[in-house]
């Protein structure tokens, strides 16, 4: 089953890269939102969309961390 070990390794490496990209994007979106008040966010459609995207990224990150606890390292 050696060919499958290689495949698993490649997929896990890609998942790790994806996790890092998700975290980077999440942090960036969070940084944008921190520059605005809650009232501004609630009144600006683009900021509401950014909030929605940040929340989606957060959910994906949380799921990866729960499924693969070692991914944070």
Average pLDDT of the residues in 12-30: 97
Residue 38 lies in a domain: yes
Residue 2's pLDDT band, with cuts at 50, 70 and 90, is confident
Q: Per the structure block, which two tokens stand in for 47? A: 């900021």
Give me the pLDDT at residue 17, please.
Answer: 96
Residue 73 lies in a domain: no
The residue among 15, 6, 13 whose CA lies nearest residue 67 is 15
Cα 49 versus chain centre, distance: 15
The domain tally of the chain equals 1
Domain of 61 in residue numbering reads as 26-66
Residue 8 lies in a domain: no
Residue 61 lies in a domain: yes
R_g of the chain computed on alpha carbons: 16
Q: Per the structure block, which two tokens stand in for 72? A: 């944070």
Residue 1 lies in a domain: no
Average pLDDT of the residues in 16-33: 97
For residue 1, is pLDDT > 90? no
Residue 3 lies in a domain: no
Q: In 10 A of CB 57, how many CB atoms?
A: 20
DSSP 8-state symbol, 40? H
């Amino acid at each position: 089953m050696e060919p499958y070990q290689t495949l698993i390794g490649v997929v896990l490496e890609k998942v790790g890269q994806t996790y890092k990209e998700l975290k980077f994007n999440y942090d960036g979106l969070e940084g944008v939102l921190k520059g605005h008040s809650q009232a501004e966010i609630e009144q600006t459609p683009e900021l509401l969309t950014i909030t929605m995207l940040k929340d989606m990224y957060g959910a994906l990150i949380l799921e990866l961390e729960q499924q693969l606890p070692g991914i944070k390292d």
